[in-house]
A and B are shown apart, each in its own frame.
Chain A
Amino acid sequence: MKILKLHKEVISNLNPQKKRNSMSGNMNIKLKVWRQKNSNSKGELVNYKVSEVSPDMSFLEMFDMLNETLINEKKEPIAFDHDCREGICGMCSMFINGRPHGPNDAVTTCQLHMRSFKDGDTIVVEPWRASAFPILKDLIVDRSSFDRIISAGGFISVNTGNAQDANCLPIGKNEADESFAAAACIGCGACVAACKNSSAMLFVSAKVSQLALLPQGKPERHQRVLNMVAQMDSEGFGACTNTGACEAECPKEISLSNIARMNREYLSAKLCSEIE
């Protein structure tokens, strides 16, 4: 306890805004967090209490605070994935109160702030659950299946040095914008976590759409969609039954229409390949 106190003093000395924050750090939160030592062991929900939570804190900063306390008590901190904390790298991945990335729309876990919760709330935090995303430890899962899907076809086969002048290829603003909207996917896997079938259709269709909408992507469009879908299926992701949970939970608001576009791409690719 002494250590904790000492530590707090040091931290408060570090920051001139202590006063303001001690005033606002007035929330008490109860957490139920999934703890699992490694991929071979069984996991369970463990209860924690976090006090002096400021509404200005991000959800992950609240976890930092909890971990700091656990470390000071010589306990194992909770392992979770995170990196940029700006909502763009796609690394953070908490399933909060039954929703990927928590209660707010269009927000990743790292951009979720405690002002979205109330004093006294109990919050349940789990990892993404999908057989294609095995748990590595606590809240960390293995999403390398996404990389393998991209390797199967999520690219344009152009070697460095082959490019013509960029403006030789005019692309209408609307198509460019639509392609960009699909390309905004951060590959976090919330779509899979949200889906009752653990389908990765939104993720895959976003990449298929981005490239299918651009003239550069047209030469390989058939092969691309066939290969990516085959890889997706072999990774153990489920099928799409059009419930739309993926779109509702996507932190980047990737549209369900991408799935429709991918289905069309797939169908036309299949027909063409059968003719061939």
Chain B
Amino acid sequence: MKLENKIPEGQLETKWEKYRSTVALVNPANKRSLEILIVGSGLAGSSAASTLAEMGYKVKVFCFQDSARRAHSIAAQGGINAAKNYQNDGDSVHRLFYDTIKGGDYRAREANVHRLAEVSGNIIDQCVASGVPFAREYGGMLSNRSFGGTQVQRTFYAAGQTGQQLLLGAYSGLQRQVGLGNIQMFTRHEMLDVVNIDGKCRGIIARDLVSGKLERHFGHAVLLCTGGYGNVFYLSTNAMGSNVTAAWKAHKKGASFGNPCYTQIHPTCIPVSGDHQSKLTLMSESLRNDGRIWVPKKMDDVNALRNGSKKGNDIPEDDRDYYLERRYPAFGNLVPRDVASRAAKERCDAGFGVSKTGEAVFLDFAHNMKYKYGKQVATLKGINNPTEEQLTAFGKDVVKEKYGNLFDMYKQITGEDPYEIPMQIYPAVHYTMGGLWVDYNLMTTIPGLYALGEANFSDHGANRLGASALMQGLADGYFVLPYTIGDFLSKEISTKSIPTTHKAFEEAEKNVEEKINTFLNIKGSKSVDYFHKKLGKIMWDKCGMARNAEGLKTAISDIQKLRDEFWKDLFVPGESNELNLELEKAGRVADFIELGELMCKDALHRNESCGGHFREEFQTEEGEAQRDDENFKYVAAWEYKNTSDWELHKEDLVYENIKIAQRSYK
């Protein structure tokens, strides 16, 4: 197999525009006879679905939830980036492009990222036109805020619910096309295999999760918009149902997996509270606009906090270590996520964690609440010498308006009031930069099979900047794929629909059915969650925020043992011909186990540190990630051969427009 990234020739700045204007088109009459299957209904899936249906294609959309509106894009909090330069702070397409490449630690493709930056502005326009109620200033203009890894304000938002508002916008476009009969929607359906015919992807096998029936669906092309695989860690900020199954099935049928070890650990999540924990909750990065992160300087204070004799507020200013501001004066609390997470781990490993578990740092709003917002309001009210109490009260109102829902959620989960005492946070698995390898057209190594949004590997390199996931999902779905798919479909206009009685469909369905029966017939002694938790523990300890060769080798053998145990000792109650949640989970965890092994293998082979991939053996004297551009400036695309057997293909990354350097946020 040869990787062809299909990046068009020409100047970076005009590449996309030129390509878009020359890529083959499909005429409207032919579009009506071309069928496209879309798996997943998040930002990428919904936006692609409505756009393709508007263009005239016949579209079917599948999601495992009870409605397209539930996809996990809904939970994105902070915002969406766009190079609009509305704040007049010097932003531009080039700057967004540069920040994203640098933030990704020089492990993303220049051409893809530049295209993303180019269409970013259109996304905001499109969303506003479709009724997304973004935050606004009193003059009626859109409001912006800052996110990590940038020095401009380019993040558009709707309180702490930006993902919800964007998804509901895309979902309404999708439902509109459902009403018009251009999209057929299959909710509570899970894709369990792809069907390849003559080397092209031509359909899927899906299970109706209510009746348990297996269904065959033909498509001239298939789009996987199925999100990331953070749940391989068991505990993550992903939704409970988020899974890798669709991508993994495609991988086993020939789609190479790109950079599987690139995982984003988000610095600001609510710490683990106990062994009952089923998921972790993010506290938006936008909080780092106004929250300052610290731990005590003195061990005595740490002990006092842990035994409850002191609260965060009792520790005087001089005894606090604002370690991000100390280590990275230029970016301070707004360093990128990987840097912030590692810095938190460093302090906690050194013994300064502020909770009983030792795994928490403070995110403190008191300073900005009083002296930034409180003062502003006081000035507006004409109060020249406000009291401390007045400042707090005024500031609280402003903070409430900006982050109210996040503060409420924090209180709900922890039982503590973050307006009164500093939040406790700790890093948690949040996003996966790795995913199915795709070319410039977003096509995987299986012709006709595409991957969009978090499901592909393409735009974030080794670390994603905040508020860029929503941007990428919508860019892929609204403005990239609907054009690039023409390159493939224009050659398919004479391909008739293949009847699903074709033997490739028959075989694929038979395999899926056998797999389901195997799960039910093992009749072992342990639940799916037992295996999932064990896998998560291996992954977090050995392939989490810090990795080393020895640990990764152990992890690989531990995962192989766990896989054997899974297939011998799993217990799944119930039947296949009914709504069976345990059966659904079993299939997902089986795939996570295999993926876990590949992630460790990828992490082990990459003898460098970059972005979210931190190998302890490769760090600077100051503890920063040390890249090895000479040997690892490539995308690792893994081709599945057999159980525990993959072949590595390398796509060299070429930087013609950016001088690559050691990343510095100091």
Contacts and interface: CB of A to CB of B under 8 A. Distances in A.
Given A14-B534, A74-B571, A163-B126, A176 B66 contact: no
Interface in B404-421: 408-409, 412-413, 415
B75 A14 contact: no
B67 A173 contact: no
Interface in A128-179: 136-137, 140, 142-144, 146-147, 150-152, 154-167, 169-173, 176-177, 179
B141 interface: yes
Given A17-B275, A79-B581, A147-B187, 4 more contacts: A84-B75, A89-B71, A171-B136, A183-B168
A106 B129 contact: no
A77 B176 CA distance: 37
Contact of A86 (B66, B75, B128): B75
Contact of B75 (A89, A115, A137): A89
Interface in B191-207: none
Contacts of B356: 17, 20
A85 interface: yes
B424 interface: no
Contact of A166 (B128, B413, B525): B128
Given A151-B175, A163-B128, A173-B138, A84 B72 contact: yes
Nearest to A16: B357
B142 interface: yes
Interface string B326-369: 00000000000000000000000000000011000000000000
B125 interface: yes
Interface residues of B, number: 91
Nearest to A167: B141
A183 B415 contact: no
B441 interface: no
A102 B154 CA distance: 40
B200 to A, nearest CB: 26
A110 to B, nearest CB: 9
B427 interface: no
24 contacts: A10-B534, A14-B534, A17-B273, A17-B357, A20-B274, A61-B278, A62-B276, A77-B573, A83-B65, A85-B278, A144-B67, A146-B67, A147-B67, A147-B68, A151-B179, A155-B130, A158-B173, A162-B129, A170-B139, A173-B140, A179-B133, A187-B67, A187-B69, A216-B128
B54 interface: yes
Given A21-B276, A79-B581, A166-B84, A183 B70 contact: no
Nearest to A37: B578
A142 B188 CA distance: 10
A167 B172 contact: no
A137 B579 contact: yes
Interface in B64-93: 65-72, 74-75, 84, 86
Given A77-B582, A147-B68, A167-B142, A18 B275 contact: yes
A68 B529 contact: yes
B239 interface: yes
Interface string B463-485: 00000000000000011001000
B226 to A, nearest CB: 14
Interface of B: 47, 50-51, 54, 65-72, 74-75, 84, 86, 121-122, 124-131, 133-142, 158-159, 161, 163-165, 168, 171-173, 175-176, 178-179, 185, 187, 210, 239-241, 272-279, 281-282, 356-357, 408-409, 412-413, 415, 478-479, 482, 525-527, 529-530, 533-534, 537, 571, 573-574, 578-579, 581-582
Nearest to B282: A86
Contacts of A82: 240
Given A14-B533, A83-B70, A144-B66, A88 B161 contact: yes
A151 B571 contact: no
Contacts of A37: 578
A84 B74 contact: yes
B136 A111 contact: no
A180 interface: yes
Nearest to B274: A21
Q: Which 9 A-B pairs have the closest CB atoms?
A: A170-B140, A151-B179, A155-B172, A163-B129, A163-B125, A15-B275, A180-B133, A21-B274, A160-B51
Contacts of A61: 276-278
Given A61-B276, A86-B281, A137-B579, A183 B133 contact: yes
Contacts of A14: 275, 533-534, 537
Interface of A: 3, 7, 10-12, 14-18, 20-21, 24-25, 37-38, 54, 56-58, 60-62, 64-65, 68, 71-72, 74-77, 79, 81-91, 106-107, 111, 113, 115, 136-137, 140, 142-144, 146-147, 150-152, 154-167, 169-173, 176-177, 179-180, 183-184, 186-187, 210-211, 214, 216-217
Contact of A136 (B140, B210, B282, B530): B210
A188 to B, nearest CB: 10
Residue from B185, B278, B408 whose CB has the most chain A CB atoms within 10 Å: B278
B130 A152 contact: no
Contacts of A7: 526-527, 530
Contacts of A140: 579
A166 B142 contact: yes
Given A144-B67, A167-B141, A214 B131 contact: yes
Given A147-B187, A156-B172, A160-B482, A171 B65 contact: no
Residue from A15, A60, A214 whose CB has the most chain B CB atoms within 10 Å: A15
Contacts of B571: 71, 74
